[in-house]
């Protein structure tokens, strides 16, 4: 079956209900630890330096996606990486709404964010970001590309820092395999809202669906070097119950005698 | 294995009491945005049914396993369903009519959808987005702490908290449960 990708656009205003996926094969990263990197030196019109952008990425992962109690994901702030200028000027898709990803912009692994000033990618200044999971094998997602509107008249630079964090977090949601949500209280709503503080229920359900946590152990899978060890909390729980038992043992012996 | 061992050990002394509970489980308090004004969840309605057993080790110490489940619901969209169930093993310490409870267990979250597509806004157009088409179950190790009150021989109430991801500052979450239990008593 051919994978159908959607070209995901974050628009500025207007109107949208439960989580959706952005492809028809349940694409998701198979590893738990994913870096979000930034293409170095391409942002000229969005009003922030690369270093500031990295702090925004850090907040986007820690304030949103890393907080889901039922998901196994651990996103990390990556680093500035040098990539071809195609990422700054090139088309993200070779054709229409069902995106045929441009192979020149394929992301080798994890998530890459790049500023981009191509007017076909961004026909309007109010479209703030576009994301395509553009490197996959079967249902395994290997790499996703996020491009941020860096046209001369981009509206990204008019946003507050908190809104920029939420916009980047929204695009990272797409990069992880989520589509849009129809409810305004969800981060994955197609439009930004200035009072975004946390993930909505729909976001939590969606990311749990794609990346379900499997504590205390994951059955039938190989633990990779990126896996977060699950056994400490399991061991801690048993230890806690055993300590309570030890503490109460003298009283138990006394009350039974 | 440890729990089976403890249960067998306790069983040589145990009296037991079967209980049926009804309550509400307020999930992940303070972690979920509930409207477009930035409000976070403090109180949500999420009914839960609990089957529980009190093994009496001594008159003050009880060993209390329980199983609970919420009702399947579609939450924010009729196209997806969420259903939670849990099993915990607890120690209960009675002080007259009040009791303390602590333990651990597993919390399962099932999310499912019937597949298909839904049209949603996407930029300045509308596109079809795929809906979830399978059942996925997430499994969390939880710790349980509670304070209860025995109203009479037949009923008790319990306020407790499930703690998720105790070791992780980012993913740590609290679900607050309030239950009332009916005691069926010992049976043979």
- The enclosing domain of B118 has a CATH number of 2.40.160.20
Contact: B141, A237; criterion CB under 8 Å: yes
Return the H-helix or E-strand segment holding A248: helix A231-256
Quickly state the pLDDT bin for A1 (edges 50, 70, 90): very low
Q: Is B105 a domain residue?
A: yes
Whether residue A226 is predicted with pLDDT greater than 80 in this model: the reply is no
Mutation target among A93, A192, A209, A251 for the B interface, most CBs of B within 10 A: A209
**Contact flag A180-B173 (C-beta cutoff 8 Å):** no
pLDDT of residue B31: 94
A6: pLDDT strictly greater than 70: no
Q: How far apart are the C-alpha atoms of A93 and A121, rounded to whole Å?
A: 8
User: Which range marks the domain in which residue B61 is found?
Assistant: 15-185
pTM: 0.83
Q: Using CB atoms, pick whichever of B38, B122, B137 lies closest to residue A6.
A: B122
Report the pLDDT value the prediction gives residue B16, as an integer from 0 to 100. Answer: 83
Please, what sign has the CA dihedral across residues A245, A246, A248, A249?
A: positive
- Report d(CA A217, CA A230) in Å as an integer: 6
Mean pLDDT of A9-29: 55
Is B21:B50 a contact under the CB 8 Å cutoff? Answer: yes
Helix (H/G/I), strand (E/B), else coil: B146: strand
Which three-class secondary structure state does DSSP give residue B68? strand
Q: Which of residues 96-155 of B touch A (CB under 8 A)?
A: 102-104, 106, 109, 111, 113, 118, 120-125, 127, 129-134, 136-141, 143
Q: Rounded to an integer, what distance in angstroms lies between the CA atom of residue A202 and that of residue A190?
A: 13
Spell out which residues of chain B touch residue A182, defining contact as CB-CB under 8 Å: 76-77, 118, 120
Check whether A243 has a pLDDT greater than 90.
no
Q: Of B76, B102, B127, which is closest to A18 when you measure between CB atoms?
A: B76
Whether B9 is covered by a domain: the verdict is no
Closest CA to A174 of A33, A5, A40: A5
Task: Answer yes or no: do A7 and B122 touch at CB < 8 A.
Answer: yes
- CA dist., res. A111 & res. A142, Å (int): 9
- A127–B124 C-beta distance less than 8 A: yes
Cβ within 8 Å, pair B36-A251: no
pLDDT of A11: 42
C-beta atoms surrounding B153 within 10 Å:
9
| DSSP per residue, B28-60 | TTT-SB-STT-PBPS----EEEEEEEEEESSSS
Question: What is the number of domains present in chain B?
Answer: 1
Locus of tokens 């995901």: A8
> Residue for token digits 């974050």?
A10
3-state helix vs strand vs coil in chain A, percent to 5? 30, 25, 45
Q: Is A229 on the interface with B (CB under 8 A)?
A: no
Q: Is there a domain that residue B95 lies in?
A: yes
* Mutation to test the A interface, candidates B122, B124, B174, most A Cβ within 10 Å: B122
Chain A residue closest to B144 (CA)? A237
pLDDT one-digit tens code per residue, B50-80: 999 999 888 899 999 999 999 888 766 677 8
- Measure Cα distances from A245 to A233, A234, A253, B58, B60 in Å: 18, 17, 11, 13, 13
The fold for domain A5-210 equals Collagenase (Catalytic Domain) (3.40.390)
Entry field: residues in chain A = 257
Which pLDDT belongs to residue A73?
93
Q: How far is CA B176 from CA A149, B61, B94, in A?
A: 43, 24, 21
Q: Do the Cβ atoms of B131 and A20 come within 8 Å?
A: yes
Residue B111 lies in a domain: yes
Alpha carbon of A5 to those of A17, A179, B179: distances in Å? 20, 10, 46
pLDDT in tens, A26-84: 789 999 999 999 999 999 999 899 999 999 999 999 999 999 999 999 999 999 999 99
Q: Is residue B28 part of a domain?
A: yes
């Amino acid at each position: 079956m051919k994978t159908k990708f959607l070209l995901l656009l974050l628009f500025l205003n207007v109107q949208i209900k439960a989580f959706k996926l952005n492809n028809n094969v349940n694409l998701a990263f198979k590893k738990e630890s994913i870096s979000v990197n930034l293409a170095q030196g391409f942002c000229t019109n969005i009003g922030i330096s690369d270093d500031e952008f990295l702090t925004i990425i850090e907040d986007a992962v820690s304030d949103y996606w890393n907080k889901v109690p039922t998901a196994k994901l651990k996103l990390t702030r990556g680093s500035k990486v040098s990539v071809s200028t195609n990422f700054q000027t090139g088309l993200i898709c070779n054709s229409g709404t069902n995106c045929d990803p441009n192979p020149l912009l394929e992301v080798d692994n994890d998530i890459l964010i790049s500023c981009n000033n191509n007017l076909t990618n961004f026909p309007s200044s109010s479209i703030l970001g576009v994301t395509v999971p553009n490197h996959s094998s079967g249902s395994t997602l290997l790499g996703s590309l996020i491009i941020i509107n860096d046209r001369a008249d981009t509206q990204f630079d008019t946003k507050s820092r908190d809104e920029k964090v939420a916009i980047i977090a929204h695009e990272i949601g797409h990069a992880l395999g989520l589509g849009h949500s129809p409810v305004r209280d969800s981060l994955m709503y197609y439009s930004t809202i200035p009072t975004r503080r946390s993930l909505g229920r729909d976001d939590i359900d969606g990311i749990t669906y794609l990346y379900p946590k499997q504590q205390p152990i994951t059955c039938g899978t190989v633990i990779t070097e990126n896996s977060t060890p699950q056994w400490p909390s399991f061991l801690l729980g048993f230890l806690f119950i055993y300590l309570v038992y030890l503490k109460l043992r003298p009283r138990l012996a006394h009350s039974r005698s | 294995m440890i729990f089976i061992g403890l249960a067998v050990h306790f069983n040589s002394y145990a009296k037991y009491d079967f209980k049926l509970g009804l309550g509400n489980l307020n999930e992940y308090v303070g972690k979920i945005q509930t409207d477009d004004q930035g409000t976070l969840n403090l109180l949500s309605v999420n009914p839960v049914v609990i089957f529980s057993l009190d093994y009496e080790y001594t008159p003050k110490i009880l060993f209390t396993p329980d199983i609970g489940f919420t009702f399947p619901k579609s939450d924010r969209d009729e196209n997806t369903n969420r259903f939670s169930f849990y099993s915990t093993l607890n120690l209960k310490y009675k002080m007259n009519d009040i009791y303390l409870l602590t333990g651990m267990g597993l919390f399962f979250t099932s999310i499912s959808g019937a597949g298909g597509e839904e049209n949603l806004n996407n930029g300045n157009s509308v596109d079809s987005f795929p809906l979830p088409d399978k059942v996925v179950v997430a499994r969390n190790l939880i710790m349980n702490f509670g304070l209860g009150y025995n109203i009479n021989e037949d009923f008790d109430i319990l306020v407790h908290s499930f703690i998720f991801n105790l070791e992780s500052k980012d993913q740590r979450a609290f679900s607050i449960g309030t239950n009332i239990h009916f005691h069926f008593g010992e049976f043979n």
